[in-house]
Chain A
Amino acid sequence: MKKEKILIANRGEIAIRIMMACEDLGCDYIVVYTHEDRESLHVRRAREKGPGKRTYRIASYKDPNEIFAVADQAGATAIHPGYGFFSENFRFARRATMRTRPITFIGPRWEVIRDLGSKINTKKVAKSLGIPVIPGSDSPIYSEIEAEALAEELFLQQREQGIRAPSVLVKASAGGGGMGIEEVQHLDTFRRVYRRIQNYAKRQFGDEGVLIEQCLRDYQHIEVQLLCDRHGTVTHFGTRNCTIQSTGRQKRVEVAPGFDPEVWDYSFDSLRVLKDITGHSVNLAREVGYDSAGTWEWVVTRDGRPYLLEVNTRIQVENEISACISRIRGREDTPVNLIREQIRTALGEKLGFTQKDIYFEGTSIELRIVAEDVKRGFAPWCGTITRFEFPQRPWARLYSHVPADKPYNIPTEYDPNLALAIIWGKDTGEAVERAGEFLLGSNIEGHNAKGEPVITNLAYLYDRLDDVLRF
């Protein structure tokens, strides 16, 4: 693997974690950065690694042409996209594979990214495998009569389930990211909303297809971490609970495993549910020939019904809490690193273990430390960080691109994420306790242009620890 040179097409803590994984594997790497990020640790770390040029300044992380041009110039053999940016962009992966000088895309085959990137398509395949999906249309609807009939049925079903305030969601099929979605609480108002969304979709996306599904409100957000290789091995690394989110649906505290009946009483058999959804996820992965790390996102309602939401064909921010509670028999002395495994599989290596080699131990919590004002709708804060200190504990790991040895200006072009903390405890109680201890020991200082002190979400994170794994 010495000959491999991996281009890290991302920034912040993920770039640093990918670098560490590369070092672990003995691969060389290069990083790209923008003018804004010149002070970021991901650049400094690469620069200080040793002889040879490892950093390239580019115009934008979002311009694929910059990435490929640098890859060729530096002689990179593979590209790790991290999360966000190009991680789920099948065109980028396709170009990497099909260009005159092919470059390995560290992620699933591009066809898989494309097919699972379409929620409708995913839903269709899932349905055919008997995997539960949110009741509703599994293809865009163009006819009002058809739409109304479906809406009526959805309302009826919810009433039969005893749901007191049933409602349905009307979505633009071509939309995404919360755009063009409206909730309908009475069948009478359905037609009006339907037409509004249809017009919006036509105007905005040039396609008037509309999706209709049951609106779920009271649920937990559960994920299944999968890891597969290019030789047909499919494994999972358990579940995570990502229900604690900001108002803008940004995850803030994640926990592995997904439920803990030792701590909380659930109104359903939580272990059974987790077992079911991992089973379903593995089935779907086999069906589509999944060949990398990926996350299957589920919602579980209060009565214990799971529904598959979507598949994220990338490594996720919170991957490490799954790694943290996982052990591979016979390799207990090397901590599991999913990013490392993801790179290995992309380069064509076999996993070298199967599901029965994997077992779990303890609970792990991820804390996303962000400069934001939770009292003002999680508004991002920008300014200069002058002090950046965290407790050093054997059970805690911290990842950050923020240099602790000199003042750091938060770039205004990107999210004000400061750091990720990964906490482990032998059980949920210990993990929560240690997370609290860690937060209390953290010290971030700084000021903005007006001289006002830094605002972070440390206190918010501490408050939310009470909700960990609680339904």
Chain B
Amino acid sequence: MDINLNDLLRHYRSNPYEEHEIRAPHTGVVKFRAEEGQQTFGPSGKWLHKPGTLLFLLERENNPKRITASFNGEVAGIRHELEGCFVEAGTLLLTIRHRLSKEEIIDRILTEVLSIFPAPQRARYYLPPETASQMDKKAEPSIFLKPGDDAIIMSLMKRDTMLKYEGTPGIIYKVYFHSGDMVERDAPLLGICPPDNLKYVQKVIQRIKNEWEE
């Protein structure tokens, strides 16, 4: 059960970065607006209503769309050869080197601590409406799952299937996806924490909070 937190922290400390590939969300003519090495910021403001740093314009059918950064980081690897060119959907345009925040470190380390309910297929996933509304109401994790309970709706080939929970009974401590997202096979969907393990998890979180400097 015990994890080697020191090792994990050391691992992240040695390389607290993640490279995010920014691809064209759809076809269009690209015009870069960010520069190599530029600092980017994700959405800000109390309600995250201020868009992040402008990365590039993608114009399709006379509609120049502003594509902004969704997280903080540093711009690298701008593919300048594509400037002013028509690109296909999914074309790699640049990367953002993102330094993991304390919350993200906690999320990542928790996947080692919590019991993970992974995606059985590459598919779209939704939380059952009751679960989602319960989560909205309560700030603290409180929804208890035991094997056989309805856990998640998987939308596959236009059909919705209710997935039953299998694994250690416990509380949904962490939801790793946004409702309606396409999730790759085996990627974590839910992080479950058995009740008698709660204290330990909180201790881990506390330790990371104390020991991780940003």
Contact = CB atoms under 8 A, between A and B. Distances in A.
Q: Do chains A and B touch in the complex (CB under 8 A)?
A: yes
A58 B26 contact: yes
Nearest to B63: A65
Interface string A405-421: 00000001111100000
Contact of B89 (A66, A68, A415, A449): A66
A267 interface: no
Contact of A69 (B28, B120, B122): B28
B25 A59 contact: yes
Interface string B39-67: 00000000000000000000011010000
Nearest to B62: A100
A382 B27 contact: no
Given A58-B88, A59-B89, A73-B86, A65 B158 contact: no
Interface in B81-105: 86, 88-91
A57 interface: yes
Interface centre among B90, B120, B157 (most CB of A within 10 A): B157
Nearest to B91: A57
Contacts of A69: 26-28, 60-61, 86
Interface string B136-159: 000000000000000000001111
Interface string A34-72: 110000000000000000000011110001011011100
A223 to B, nearest CB: 24
Contact of B88 (A57, A382, A415): A57
B201 interface: no
B123 interface: yes
A163 interface: no
Given A63-B26, A380-B159, 19 more contacts: A58-B26, A58-B27, A59-B27, A65-B63, A66-B27, A66-B60, A66-B89, A69-B26, A70-B27, A379-B159, A380-B157, A382-B157, A412-B157, A413-B157, A414-B157, A414-B158, A415-B157, A416-B157, A449-B120
Interface string A190-202: 0000000000000
A365 B56 CA distance: 53
7 contacts: A35-B90, A57-B89, A65-B61, A66-B60, A69-B28, A69-B60, A412-B122
Given A382-B156, A415-B158, A56 B61 contact: no
B20 interface: no
B111 interface: no
Interface of A: 34-35, 56-59, 63, 65-66, 68-70, 73, 379-380, 382, 412-416, 449
Contact of B185 (A379, A414, A415, A449): A449
Given A57-B89, A449-B121, A73 B27 contact: yes
B123 A412 contact: yes
Contacts of B61: 65, 68-69
Contacts of B27: 56-59, 66, 69-70, 73
Interface string B171-183: 0000000000000
Contacts of B26: 58-59, 63, 65-66, 69
Contacts of A63: 26
B89 A412 contact: no
A34 B25 CA distance: 12
A14 B203 CA distance: 58
A374 to B, nearest CB: 15
Contacts of B86: 69, 73
Nearest to B155: A412
Nearest to A99: B61
A65 B55 CA distance: 22
A412 B119 CA distance: 13
A71 B145 CA distance: 50
Contacts of B25: 59
A380 B158 CA distance: 9
The 7 lowest CB-CB distance pairs between A and B, nearest first, are A380-B157, A57-B88, A59-B89, A59-B26, A69-B60, A73-B86, A69-B27
B16 to A, nearest CB: 30
A119 to B, nearest CB: 23
Nearest to B159: A380
A276 to B, nearest CB: 37
Interface centre among B27, B86, B91 (most CB of A within 10 A): B27
B93 to A, nearest CB: 14
Nearest to A55: B88
Contacts of A382: 121, 156-157
A28 B90 CA distance: 25
A68 B88 CA distance: 13
Contacts of B159: 379-380
A415 B86 CA distance: 31
B208 to A, nearest CB: 33
